[in-house]
Structure 1
Amino acid sequence: MGELKEPVRPAPGADGATPAFHKQQWDHPLIGSMLRDAGFAPDDEASIMPTADNRLAVFAAASKRLQDRTETFNRDMTARHGHCHAVPFLVIDQKIWDGPHGAFLYAQMGLIGYDEWNVIMLAGDPQTTASCGLAGHPGFLPSVTQVMTEHVIAWKTRHNALLETYGITATGGRDISHEQYEMEKDTLRNEIIDKAGWMKPRIIDELLRKA
């Protein structure tokens, strides 16, 4: 299945929030009824997309949490080993989050790359590798970026197909319920998190092998 284009997002309302569905969709005799039957409402939080300002605040808070976790990790490891300068490595890296598929991860899947599920602590200097046994931070791993980009595109395509099956982008009717849609979306979200977790030891093993 080819990658589907994301629907054009509606313009923000007077309160700055962006409705997840167009006004025309709410007014449509079939789609509007479908959305209401599914439990959505024009003024519900479930029907509101986060604004850019809200997302920036969320990212800033997540970045601060990562900084705090890194400082705690380095402090604890220094107490145990005498020296530790670990640096975070993102499995789904910044190039992907900043690229054309990043919005799928944070806006539709509710994921943030700075959270622990996506982070490996790696050595920022040779002394840390020697004292703590951490693999050295590579800076950037094009092979991992390529693999994870392919996975993200596949996940995004599956989610777009799920939206069509649910009927959000269709012109009428729906094949699955709101509850089933949310359940399948959660399954997809957990699959993304699990894949990042699966990648972590393999990335570390590869870095140690090349050291």
Structure 2
Amino acid sequence: MFGQKATFGKRQHSFAELKEMMRPTPDADGVTRVFSKELWDDPKVGPMLRELGFNPDDPRNISKTAEDYIAMFAAAKKRLEERAAAFNRDMTNRYGYCNAVPFLVIDHTIWDGEHGAFLYASLNLIGFDDWNVLMLAGDERTKELCGIAGHPGTVPAVSKAVHEFVVAWKERYECALEAYGVTATGGQGRGISREQYEMEKDELRQEIIDKVGWMKPRIINELLRIQG
């Protein structure tokens, strides 16, 4: 995201310079914006931002705070707990007993690591949401009665593969962000429009969701094979 001290020149900005601009600082009203409010008063920068379709209080221009993310994660975790409880009730009605627990395909080692912010802050992906969750047996009785794979804790091979995917996805996102930064900062070079940037970001987000969806049945099949 872009902080208050961004400068707008006529040369191409490198991604390192763009990231240097992405250090959000609250405006005078206490709100942290991607493009700070004062930029709209600049005789050169303000008209360019308006031409690009921005306004200072556009929701996309408001940066989330740490408190916002904490609340978002808490709400997502609560939804997951409710889905797990509903799953267990339904399976208990069918089979007489079920103690299934969630398994995250992109696990906590990613979300809590150096690439986690890319997923939740840049792409608005939350690991507790259904796209990233499998319900697996929490005990042997559930495996036998319900016919679902046992929860393995973590699967190093899956974690390693996912980490490699996330690194590649992040690189693609940074390339799109750099290209958009050329346009947004008035630089010369192979920039892309705001619409192109948003489209590429949306496509990448959907690709991640689809890839995790592709992995789910394969993880289950492998667990069932190993667990017999």
Same fold (TM over 0.5): yes
Query: What does residue 153 of structure 1 align with?
Result: 167
Query: Deviations 1:37-91 (Å, cap 9, x if unpaired)?
Result: 2212222211111111011111100000000000000000000001100000000
Query: What does residue 54 of structure 1 align with?
Result: 68
Q: In 2 relative to 1, CA 15–22 (structure 1 residues): closer, same or farther, beyond 3 Å?
A: closer
Does residue 81 of structure 2 align to residue 73 of structure 1?
no
Q: How many correspondences in the alignment?
A: 207
Does residue 115 of structure 2 align to residue 101 of structure 1?
yes
Does residue 186 of structure 2 align to residue 187 of structure 1?
no
Give the match's secondary structure for 1:131.
Answer: helix
Counterpart-to-counterpart distance in 2, 1:15 and 1:76: 49
- Which amino acid is 2:156 matched to? P
Does residue 222 of structure 2 align to residue 209 of structure 1?
no
TM-score (norm: length of structure 2): 0.83
Counterpart-to-counterpart distance in 2, 1:193 and 1:133: 26
Q: In 2 relative to 1, CA 197–140 (structure 1 residues): closer, same or farther, beyond 3 Å?
A: same
Q: In 2 relative to 1, CA 181–16 (structure 1 residues): closer, same or farther, beyond 3 Å?
A: same
- Which amino acid is 2:169 matched to? W
Query: What does residue 187 of structure 2 align with?
Result: 172
Give the match's secondary structure for 1:148.
Answer: helix
- Which amino acid is 1:60 matched to? A
Counterpart-to-counterpart distance in 2, 1:14 and 1:208: 57
- Which amino acid is 1:13 matched to? D
Question: Aligned residues: percent identity?
Answer: 59
Query: Deviations 1:115-159 (Å, cap 9, x if unpaired)?
Result: 000000000000000001110000011111111111111111111
Counterpart-to-counterpart distance in 1, 2:87 and 2:73: 21
Counterpart-to-counterpart distance in 2, 1:28 and 1:119: 49
The answer (yes or no) to whether the contact 1:17–1:51 under 8 Å persists in 2 is no
The answer (yes or no) to whether the contact 1:17–1:50 under 8 Å persists in 2 is no
Residue pairs, 1:1-150, within 5 angstroms: 6-7=19-20, 8-21=22-35, 27=42, 29=44, 33-150=47-164
The answer (yes or no) to whether the contact 1:164–1:170 under 8 Å persists in 2 is no
TM-score (norm: length of structure 1): 0.89
- Which amino acid is 1:204 matched to? I
RMSD: 2.1
Give the match's secondary structure for 2:135.
Answer: strand
Q: How far 1:177 sits from its partner (Å)? A: 1.6
The answer (yes or no) to whether the contact 2:131–2:209 under 8 Å persists in 1 is yes
For structure 2, which runs of at least 5 residues remain unmatched after alignment? 1-14
Q: In 2 relative to 1, CA 15–62 (structure 1 residues): closer, same or farther, beyond 3 Å?
A: farther
For structure 1, which runs of at least 5 residues remain unmatched after alignment? none
